[in-house]
């Protein structure tokens, strides 16, 4: 992106500061999305200042910055929307968590998906528990119990997966992850 | 002189109709952000800021109602031109119909 060059040094500093604020807000996006956002903000600033040459440069710049608003507010929806695209495109867990947390206020579907993702994060914990304490960890069934994790040994409650526990947890984790991505794609297409 | 209630109602009404006006403006001619703001002001008397139009354009893009193209300029600062998509045109037609129905009801009172 080509930065705008101002005649006035103060204008340049104000512009640089605003663009740096924008960069901070969008830094969780992919490089191409960041570039697109910055180019668009840059274009709004350039066109406004260029069309208000009857005003002082700094005044015009301050006016357009006021019209654009705080990047933290104006770019919030843009970032949330682009992050969802990135999450479904890359299948990256980090992007998925970021996308869902940014969209929590956009509907109950995102809250449910976020809870499902938090559940998914428990799966590696269960695997570590199984490695550290295999006697107490597993899928426990019996006497009104159906526990996936750790229980205190009780009569009539048995662990049913044995050595298959870790492979089953891994497979379930992968399936849950694919389900979350599928549902996210579905929610995204339903919303549009 | 409009009272406070009417002023608020007027603002809300225009806010609600804003996606319609944006699609209508872009149906007539593709625009870049700043140009679109001027078109909305000149054609529909709607004065909106960049902080309103930018997220709205992103939303309309997300809903496949608009498409965009970056066009290089001699200044070196490219413009992002927005175009209405086929889906956008279909939605605009439905919106027009809804507005016409409302107008008919209002006139019928």
Q: Quick one: tokens of A166?
A: 């870790």
Q: How many domains does chain B have?
A: 1
Which residue of chain A is at minimal alpha-carbon distance from B60? A192
Q: Which residue has the tokens 């893009």?
A: B61
What is the predicted ipTM?
A: 0.87
Decide if A38 contacts A19 (C-beta within 8 A). Answer: yes
Return the pLDDT at A155: 74
Cα-based distances in Å from A64 to A16, A88, A123: 14, 34, 49
- CB-CB contact of A137 with A123 (8 Å): no
Structure tokens at A23: 């960069």
pLDDT exceeds 80 at position B57: yes
pLDDT level of residue B81 (50, 70, 90 thresholds): very high
> Which pLDDT value is given to residue A133?
84
Q: What is the pTM of this model?
A: 0.77
Q: Indicate which CATH number applies to the domain containing B54.
A: 1.10.10.10
Does the structure show a pLDDT above 70 at B80?
yes
User: Measured between beta carbons, which residues in chain B are less than 8 angstroms from residue A78?
Assistant: 54-55, 58
* Selection from B30, B34, B42, B38 nearest residue B85 by Cα: B30
Range of the domain at B75: 4-107
CA gap B58, B66 in Å, rounded: 9
| Greatest extent of chain B over all pairs of C-alpha atoms, in Å | 56
Cα–Cα distance between A157 and A145 in angstroms, integer?
7
A186 touches chain B (CB under 8 A): no
Give the model's confidence band at B108: pLDDT under 50 very low, under 70 low, under 90 confident, else very high: confident
Residue A139, pLDDT score: 84
Per-residue pLDDT of A34-87, as tens digits, reads 999 999 999 999 999 999 989 999 999 999 999 999 999 999 888 988 888 888
Any B CB within 8 A of A68 CB:
yes
- What pLDDT score does B1 carry? 64
Question: Looking at residue A61, what is its pLDDT?
Answer: 95
**Which pLDDT score is estimated for B102?**
92
B64 token code pair = 């496949």
Q: Residues B49, A18: contact at Cβ < 8 Å?
A: no
Helix residue ranges per DSSP H, chain B: 4-28, 33-44, 50-62, 86-108
Tokens of A165: 């526990």
Residues (pLDDT < 70) of chain A are 190-192
Quote the pLDDT of residue B42: 92
Tell me which chain A residues have a C-beta less than 8 angstroms from the C-beta of B75: 46, 50
- Using a CB–CB cutoff of 8 Å, tell me whether A73 touches chain B: yes
**A contacts of B50 (beta carbons < 8 Å):** 44, 48, 64, 67-69, 74
């Amino acid at each position: 992106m080509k930065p705008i060059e101002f005649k006035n040094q103060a204008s340049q500093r104000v512009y640089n500061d605003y663009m740096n604020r924008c960069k901070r807000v969008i830094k969780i996006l992919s490089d191409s999305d960041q570039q697109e956002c910055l180019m668009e903000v840059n274009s709004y600033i350039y066109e406004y200042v260029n069309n208000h040459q009857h005003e002082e440069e700094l005044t015009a710049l301050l006016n357009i910055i006021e019209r654009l608003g705080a990047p933290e507010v104006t770019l919030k929806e843009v970032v949330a929307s682009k992050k969802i695209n990135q999450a479904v495109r890359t299948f990256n867990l980090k992007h998925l968590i970021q996308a869902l947390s940014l969209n929590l206020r956009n509907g109950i579907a995102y809250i449910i998906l976020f809870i499902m993702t938090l559940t998914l994060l428990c799966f590696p914990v269960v695997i570590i528990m199984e490695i550290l304490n295999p006697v107490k960890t597993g899928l426990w069934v019996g006497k009104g119990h159906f526990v996936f994790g750790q229980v205190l040994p009780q009569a009539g409650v048995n662990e049913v997966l044995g050595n298959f526990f870790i492979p089953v947890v891994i497979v379930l984790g992968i399936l849950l992850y694919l389900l979350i991505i599928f549902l996210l794609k579905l929610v995204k297409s339903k919303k549009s | 002189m409009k009272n406070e209630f009417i002023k608020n109602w007027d603002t809300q009404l225009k806010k609600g109709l804003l996606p319609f006006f944006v699609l209508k403006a872009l149906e007539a001619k593709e625009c870049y952000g700043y140009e679109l703001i001027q078109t909305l002001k000149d054609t529909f008397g709607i004065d909106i800021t960049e902080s309103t139009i930018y997220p709205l354009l992103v939303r309309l893009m997300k809903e496949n109602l608009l498409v965009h193209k970056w066009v290089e300029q001699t200044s070196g600062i490219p413009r992002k031109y927005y175009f209405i998509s086929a889906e956008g045109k279909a939605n605009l037609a439905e919106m027009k119909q809804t507005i016409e129905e409302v107008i008919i009801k209002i006139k019928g009172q």
